[in-house]
Chain A
């Protein structure tokens, strides 16, 4: 049977669907920022930006950019009514202190038990840069990863042990990918959902690791959180 990968927008929509009303959320640089475009209507989500913003709004219209108001990716943004500014130590205190409900990050690799590698490929001669990745990974109540399941060469980015330098240990709760949504647990991977036409066995073959069945697994965030 054939199957179709989720597009970037479909993946962003899949992530957005699990974000609950009233959530405080940090969306990482790159693909995760797309999630903001797909938040369900009728719910209020407060976006956090590491450089001291809560209640971050969309990009301004052309010509109204204010370079005192930028996001973590240094792009101009806006502030929603009800938003607030604060300094960097407070901003990272919010993360580290467990006050953010969800952060969504990109990744190079995630291990079955939730180790994350997303800041460095460890390539010789590259200039290391970490930014807020390590703080985000360990700070939010739930860290979700959003990525393609496979590299361009067809290797699984979900691994038994990360070969790239680690960002955090056992910090990823969920992996949202173009082929499947997986839960990382101390016992290993568990299926949440997968694209139509992709069999459980075929998914396990792609990942190269056992994946526990989704049976009886609560799908929504509210149900899963205790």
Chain B
């Protein structure tokens, strides 16, 4: 029997090790797995590399994980926000590394990881400083059919923490509105994917036509109370 429903966040997260690369879903207020991030803080894993579109807001969710000193490096597209002061302070004092990636390259590097692609040529970033490696050397480039491309490599996660709306014991997931964002891609890109959901349904309870992430990509599903958060995960003022 397949039983991916975990009894608690803590049970779902057991085994995430120090030094892990953790993919965390969400974009702005939508689709942020706040309860799983809080669970990761409780678990205590350190020296993490975190992949997210942003670098945390206020002092909750990802910002709280950064504040707890658990993160060595952030890979993201847009770390700056009106309330990204936790990341800002860590970055300015040299206590956290940043790999800045154009958003579409971030999504495609995750997709490539999930799809078994060794690397891919993309036009995004050509001729810019983001077409350089961290040491300043240029990334491999090629002209194909007269158009310039730069070579980008997959981002493989040890674990992905994502937020979905509905799940079943096989790990099938559906999402809500724009809270889908990075969830389906990250689910494919990690060795282990943990999804929080508001509703757990019987097998067949999600119309097969509406399954966005098939259970093959999901290791554990944990239910979180809908009352704990507003629709997107943060309060309206976030």
Write out the residue numbers on chain B whose beta carbons fall within 8 Å of the beta carbon of A182. none
Would B130 and A134 count as touching, CB distance under 8 A? yes
Q: Is A212 an interface residue (CB 8 A)?
A: no
Q: Is A101 an interface residue (CB 8 A)?
A: no
Chain A residue nearest in CB terms to B82: A74
Q: Is A66 an interface residue (CB 8 A)?
A: yes
Write out the residue numbers on chain B whose beta carbons fall within 8 Å of the beta carbon of A134. 102, 104-105, 124-125, 128, 130
Taken together as a complex, chains A and B put the C-alpha atoms of A131 and B77 apart, in Å, by 5
On whether A70 and B28 interact (CB within 8 A), knowing A129-B80, A165-B129, A169-B126, the answer reads: yes
| Most chain A CB inside 10 Å of its own CB: which residue of B77, B88, B107, B230 | B107
Q: Is A88 an interface residue (CB 8 A)?
A: yes
Taken together as a complex, chains A and B put the C-alpha atoms of A169 and B87 apart, in Å, by 31
Q: In whole Å, how far is A107's beta carbon from the nearest beta carbon of chain B?
A: 14
Taken together as a complex, chains A and B put the C-alpha atoms of A132 and B54 apart, in Å, by 12
Which of A11-19, A44-52, A218-226 participates in binding chain B? Answer: A44-52
On whether A87 and B233 interact (CB within 8 A), knowing A96-B123, A169-B126, the answer reads: no
On whether A92 and B104 interact (CB within 8 A), knowing A68-B179, A129-B80, the answer reads: yes
The proximity string for A residues 69-99 relative to B, scoring 1 for CB distances below 8 Å and 0 otherwise, is 1100010000100000111110111011000
Q: Is A105 an interface residue (CB 8 A)?
A: no
Question: Using a CB-CB cutoff of 8 Å, which residues 95-151 of chain A contact chain B?
Answer: 95-96, 115, 125, 127-135, 138-139
Write out the residue numbers on chain B whose beta carbons fall within 8 Å of the beta carbon of A70. 27-30, 178, 232
Q: Is A35 an interface residue (CB 8 A)?
A: no
Write out the residue numbers on chain B whose beta carbons fall within 8 Å of the beta carbon of A88. 27, 53, 103, 106-107, 181-182, 185
Question: Using a CB-CB cutoff of 8 Å, which residues 164-213 of chain A contact chain B?
Answer: 165-169
The proximity string for A residues 28-69 relative to B, scoring 1 for CB distances below 8 Å and 0 otherwise, is 000000000000000000000111110000000000011111
Taken together as a complex, chains A and B put the C-alpha atoms of A51 and B87 apart, in Å, by 22
The proximity string for B residues 222-238 relative to A, scoring 1 for CB distances below 8 Å and 0 otherwise, is 00000000111110101
Taken together as a complex, chains A and B put the C-alpha atoms of A125 and B126 apart, in Å, by 24
Question: Can you name 16 A-B pairs with beta carbons within 8 Å?
Answer: A67-B30, A67-B233, A70-B232, A86-B180, A88-B103, A88-B182, A89-B108, A91-B107, A92-B103, A92-B107, A115-B127, A127-B79, A127-B80, A127-B88, A127-B91, A128-B80
Report, nearest first, the 7 A-B pairs whose CB atoms are least far apart.
A67-B232, A92-B104, A135-B104, A74-B28, A129-B80, A88-B107, A169-B127
A positions within 8 Å CB-CB of B:
49-53, 65-70, 74, 79, 85-89, 91-93, 95-96, 115, 125, 127-135, 138-139, 165-169
10 further A-B contacts with Cβ under 8 Å, apart from A68-B176, A96-B104, are A51-B178, A68-B29, A70-B29, A85-B175, A88-B27, A127-B84, A127-B87, A131-B77, A132-B104, A166-B127
